[in-house]
Structures are given as structure tokens and as C-alpha cells.
A and B are shown apart, each in its own frame.
Chain A
Amino acid sequence: MAADSDKVTSPYQGLESRAFWRSGVAEAGRFPPADVYRARFPITRDLPIFTAGSCFAQHVGNALRSSGFRVLDAEPLPAGMAAHFRPMAQTYGYGLYSARYGNIYTVRQFLQLIREAHGEFQPADPIWERDGRFFDALRPGTEPNGLETPELVTRARAGHLAAVRDALGQAGLVVFTLGLTESWQHTESGTVYPTAPGTIAGQMDDARYSFINFRASQIREDFLEVRDYLKAINPDIRFLLTVSPVPLTATASGNHVLPATVYSKAVLRTVAGELYEDFEDIDYFPSFEIVASHASDDGFFADNLRSVTTRGVRRVMRAFLAAHGAGQDTAEERDVADSDGTDDDVVCEEALLEAFST
């Protein structure tokens, strides 16, 4: 029997300083706090990493690549190609992710891609048209000017799906950035698209397409299906989830875009948190919290209060890489430190919705 003096008077007594707001955040002396993230499992340099997600995921991939991690790229440009082509090539989807699927804003979109790559899903209306050119509706941003015929889109997509299959077959870790809950679907089939019809190509037709705002339970279910698929390919595969701190450019929910954004991010954060709690093979990295929480620096968003500044990106990546044993002064960080802009260098179709603002 313990003496009275040894009695714990509160379950918070004796917790680490990171558990308290004052010591863990307000008086931590730096932001993000040094211990804001503890890696659940190590990411070794030779672990094949598959990256996907919304625009912000591009930063994660870049940081990993620059720090010597093995980020898969099943549709690479030739080795030795001059670096000055890179930004131009990225507008065609090269070098952004582990294949040229472009941004994957919802888990449902990711699930579709995996199933389609394995011949178990056939998207509805997979080809959209604009000004006589034809676009892959599932990745309309990867050919900014489209292709000449629908057949060419189909041919290009077949090659792309083979590359996705190849990359997934090698993956030991999937890094996925949850971006949006809102999406547009082919109503009858449930096929979701990364952009609304009519944004890059195609045409909105209320009888054919409809808005969907995924709920937490649906996202979780989709993610578990993704996990099952990928575990069937590689039982040892692991997952690292993040939530993008980038607000919605626009909402079709009928709500004001601010609460719509907070709702969306809260849903995604909830799903990520519960998946983390429930599965040992899922880690969560708090990029959203670092950029968009109470203690975040004023300078993490650009004047439009949407684009994350290079400073914000740098802080996120520093915390991430430090937790995974990568150097503090990586090439990515130097690049970011040397620049003074926003994350406009990432390729982001969702931002195109701004053009519809009146």
C-alpha cells in the first residue's frame, strides 16, 4: 500500500511537458514544438514510398526525395534530363507523385484508382472534352491541353494504370495527404472526379453529375478498403496520413466557405486520428496542426489566406524530417529557405475554382 504522499492526485500529474498547452505550446520556445510529432515507426532510406494526396502532398514527396528517401516514381522522366525542365514537366504531372495521377483529393478517388489499376473498376464518363480536345476526367490536369482524340486518352490511361500497378506493387509505405471531403460524382455509378465537370474540361449536367460531401464514416470505410487492397499486395505495408492545411478554394455545400473548410478538415482529421488509434500500421503527421492551428505563425499563409508560404512548408517539413532522422538542412529546406513565396509552385487544380468567383 502506497503512502499518502505517493498518491496520484490527478491523472495529469507526472505527464510529460508536451501534454500541457503551456509547456508544450505556449512556452515551448519554438514552433512547431520539438516534440510535436513522434514517429510511430521508422522510415528507412531504402523503404519504397508511394506518395499521393492533395496538392500539399507534393511538398511531402519533395522533402522525402530531397532527403534521400526512396520515393517511387513509376512514370519518371529520363534520368539526366536537365533540371530546368522540371517545373514545366510538373504541369504535365511528372515528378509530383509515384505516378502521373495528379492530385488525389479524396480517399474515394484513391480507392477508385487502385481498383481500376487492378481491373476491378471501370470509371463512368472517363473522358471529358473541351474545345475539341479530350481530357482524362480522372486526372484532367496532367495533360493541360488535352489530347486529340478520346482513343488517345484511353491509350495514355492504360499505360498510366500499368505504372500505378507497378508502383503499388513495390510500395512499403504509402504517404497520403487527406485534402477534401467535397467532391463531384457521376450520380448513377458513384465515380468521383478530382475536379468538377466544367472546371478544366467536360460540362456540368445536373442530371448526370452531383455534389457529394463525404462523411467521416465513408472516408474511413474507403480508407480501410484501400488498406485491405494494399495489404493483399504487401502484408507489411504501412501508411502515413497527413491532413492538408490548405483551405477549400470554394465550397458547393451551400455553407460559407470558412465553416465548410473547418468542417471538412475536422472530418478528415477525425478519420486520420481514429485510424491512427485503431491500427498500428498507420501513423499520423500533424502538418495541418503546424500550419493552421491556434499557435501557428501569422506568416504561414500568404495574403490570400489560402496558399501556404514557403516558411510554413519549411516548418512542416523540418518537423517531419527531424522525426525521421533526416538532416535539419536538407536540399528541400534550402530551396524553400532561399525562396520567398508561397506554395504556388505546387500543381493544384482545385485552385482553379477561384476563377468562378464573382
Chain B
Amino acid sequence: MTRFLVLGSSHVAAMKQAAPQFVERHPDIDLSFFASAAPTFRVGRVGQKGFFTPKYRSKGDRQLARQVNDALTVDLTSFDQILVSGFRFSMGDVAKVLLDFDIVEGTDTGKAQTCSLDFLRAMIDHLVAREMKLITGCLGENRNFTITDAPYPAETIGQRSEDYDPAKSLDAFMNHPDAPGLFDYWKDQVAAGVTAAGYGFLPQPVETVTKPFATAGQFTAAAPHMNGEQLSWTDHRHMNADFGLHVLEAFTEKHMNPTPKPA
């Protein structure tokens, strides 16, 4: 029996919702979850004895963690594999730049300003290094962690342009003619950063990606809240059980040499 923990932020919910289906297919895997809200998760710490504790800021944070996990901490030493989902190497700021700038080496889309590809790559290098600092501060020494980036926003994120400030630039980025090259660079740098720190890396499954930094819209329908309840609206950022199953299967395929039960 392989003891497998999915640790992270609210994005863990998609995988938790897929658990029944996954366990049905992989009876030899003992699947567990531990999640806390992103602001508490990302600055949490793994203690010397191998327990992960989020950085709770309030009574409400603790209440939510208890409600979701029935515990405030999790003993990481009791797991063979740990998949971490909740860190975000966000392309949001790069997308903001492309909303106002053309890339001098790239396509002329009529923007008044240009910036160099080298500058955008430097931004990506910077954001990866910064997030890696956060990750290593949170998780510490390598302890069989595999990192997967928080899901890319849904390709339908543009529908939130009125109420969610980054939506407009993210939508523009996904459809920008020069975005594929930048996205490839970003993926390479994220993978290199994570593996250089001694962690495993699981990219977002390709079948869930439709455009640069975009998750297929179908995966955003009926996405769950961290507490298991269905979100009352589509936020285009959190994904559903179908997406969660893709991630779990991708991880299992890559890291656990599975022998899934025939469907």
C-alpha cells in the first residue's frame, strides 16, 4: 500500500473531490489530503519532526482547517509520496506587461510601447526564484515532495473582467500571438527551479491546457470549495473533480508505476 498525501491550498479540493473515483481505480494507494487557505498554506512551515503547520492568522483559519482536515497539522513522515498543490508561479504580471507592450522581437499588435523578450524572461526568472524561495522556506529540506503549480486560470477567465482585476490581462495573454514562446520558457524555468531545489515536479497535464497559461473551460464547472461544498459560482480559477482526477492520474503515472484496476 502506498501512502499518498495531497498537501496544499484550496486547489487541493479538486483532487479531494476526485478521490472516490481515483481510489476505485487504485486500490493499492492510500490517499489522504491536507489543505488550508492559500495565505496560511504558502507561509506555513515543516517542523523538525516532520509536521506541516499552516501559518494560521485567526480563529477562522483554524476553524476552517479543522472543518476541512479534522486537524490543524499533518505528520508528513507517515507518507510515501506527497504532492503539493498551491504554490503559484503566476504569469499575472507578465500578462499585465503584454497588455500595454509589444515585444520588440515579436508581433506588432499596435501597442504604443515595446519591451524586450529578454526583459520578460528576466521577469519570469525573477518570479520563479521568488516563488522558490517561498517554497523552500515553507517545505524546507526535500522530503519526497512533488510540486505541481496551482491550476492555470480557465480560458474563460475573461468573463470575470468586470470583477477580477487580473482577468483582462490574463485573457489577453492567453490569446496573444507571442504568448506560446513565453509560456514555453516559463514552463522550462518553473521545472528547472523546482527540480534544482531537490523536489519532484509535475506539470499541469497537457490534456487540460488549451492555450498558454490557460486551463480548458470545461474543468471550471462545478468546482468545489476547500470544505467540499460546491462553489456557488464559477470563479474560473478553481477546478473540478475531473481536473483533479487528471492531476492525480498524471502524478501516479509519473511517480508510482501504477497498476490501475481495469475500468
Closest B residue, CB atoms, query A166: B112
Question: Assuming A81-B93, A85-B93, is B126 touching A156 (CB within 8 A)?
Answer: no
Shortest distance in angstroms between B106's beta carbon and chain A's nearest beta carbon? 10
Q: Which of A111-164 contact B (CB under 8 A)?
A: 143-148, 152, 155-156, 159, 163
Taking a contact as CB atoms closer than 8 A, the residue among A75, A80, A147 that contacts B116 in the complex is A147
Q: Tell me the minimal C-beta distance from B75 to chain A in angstroms.
A: 34
Cβ-defined partner of A147 (8 Å) among B93, B105, B123: B105
Stretch of B13-21, B94-102, B176-184 lying at the A interface: B94-102
**Which A residues, 283 to 329, have Cβ-Cβ distances below 8 Å to chain B?**
none
Nearest CB of chain A from residue B90's CB, rounded to whole Å: 9
User: Are A80's CB and B126's CB within 8 A?
Assistant: no
Q: What mask results when residues 101 to 114 of chain B are scored 1 for a CB within 8 Å of chain A, else 0?
A: 00011000000111
Given A148-B105, A152-B104, does the pair A92, B93 have CB atoms closer than 8 Å?
no
Any chain B CB within 8 A of the CB of A7? no
Out of A80, A147, A148, which one reaches B96, CB within 8 Å? A80
Chain B min CB distance to A79 (Å): 9
Which of B115, B116, B123 is close to A85, meaning CB atoms less than 8 Å apart? B123
Is A159 within 8 A of B114, CB to CB?
Answer: yes
| Residue interface mask A213-233, B partner, CB < 8 A = 1 | 000000000000000000000
When each residue 61-94 of chain B gets 1 if its CB lies under 8 Å from chain A and 0 otherwise, what string results?
Answer: 0000000000000000000000000000000010
Q: Would you call B165 an interface residue if the criterion is a C-beta within 8 Å of the partner chain's C-beta atoms?
A: yes
Is A11 on the interface with B (CB-CB < 8 A)?
no
A-B contact count (CB 8 A): 54
Does the CB pair B113–A159 fall under 8 Å? Answer: yes
Tell me if A88 counts as interface (CB < 8 A to partner B).
yes
Q: Which residues of B contact A88 (CB under 8 A)?
A: 122-123, 126
Which residues of B sit under 8 angstroms from A84, Cβ to Cβ? 126, 130
Name which of B99, B114, B116, B118 has the most chain A CB atoms within 10 A of its CB.
B116
Closest B residue to A146 by CB, please name it: B118
Given contacts A147-B104, A152-B104, contact A163 B130 (CB under 8 A): no
Q: Among the listed B96, B100, B122, B127, which residue makes an inter-chain contact with A92, where contact means beta carbons less than 8 Å apart?
A: B122
What's the least CB distance linking B134 to chain A, in Å? 11
Cβ B165 vs Cβ A80 within 8 A = yes
B164 interface hit (Cβ, 8 Å)? no
Q: Hey, which chain A residues are within 8 Å of B113, CB to CB? A: 75, 159, 163
A254 within 8 A of B: no
Does A81 contact B104, Cβ atoms closer than 8 Å?
A: no
Is B185 an interface position by the 8 A CB rule? no
B51 within 8 A of A: no
Q: Is A82 in the interface zone, CB < 8 Å from B? A: yes
* Nearest opposing residue in chain B for A79, CB measure: B96
Contact between A81 and B165, CB atoms less than 8 A apart: no
Which residues does chain B contribute within 8 Å of A152, judged by CB atoms?
A: 104-105, 116
Chain A residues with CB under 8 Å of B119's CB are: 89, 92, 143
Which A residues are CB-close (under 8 A) to B165?
A: 80
Instruction: Give the complex CA separation of A145 and B169 in angstroms.
Output: 27
Residues of A within 8 A of B123 (CB): 85, 88-89
A70-106 toward B: CB 8 Å interface, digit per residue (1/0)? 0000010110111011001101100000000000000
- A8-35 to B contact mask, C-beta < 8 Å, 1/0: 0000000000000000000000000000
- What distance in Å separates the Cβ of B244 from its nearest Cβ neighbour in chain A? 29
Contact of A81 with B116 in the complex, beta carbons under 8 Å:
no
- B97 close to A81 (CB less than 8 A): yes
| Candidate in B96, B105, B113, B123 with the most chain A CB atoms within 10 angstroms | B113
> Given the complex, which residues of B lie within 8 Å of A92, measured CB to CB?
115-116, 119, 122
Highest count of chain B CB atoms <10 Å: which of A78, A84, A89, A156? A78
- Kindly list 7 other residue pairs between chains A and B, CB separation below 8 angstroms, not including A92-B115, A92-B116: A75-B113, A78-B99, A78-B169, A81-B96, A85-B127, A143-B119, A159-B113
Chain A residues within CB distance 8 Å of chain B: 75, 77-78, 80-82, 84-85, 88-89, 91-92, 143-148, 152, 155-156, 159, 163
29 residue pairs of the A-B complex, CB under 8 angstroms, read A78-B93, A78-B96, A78-B169, A82-B93, A84-B130, A85-B93, A85-B127, A88-B122, A88-B123, A88-B126, A89-B123, A91-B122, A92-B115, A92-B116, A143-B118, A143-B119, A144-B118, A147-B104, A147-B105, A147-B116, A147-B118, A152-B105, A152-B116, A155-B104, A155-B114, A156-B114, A159-B104, A159-B112, A159-B114
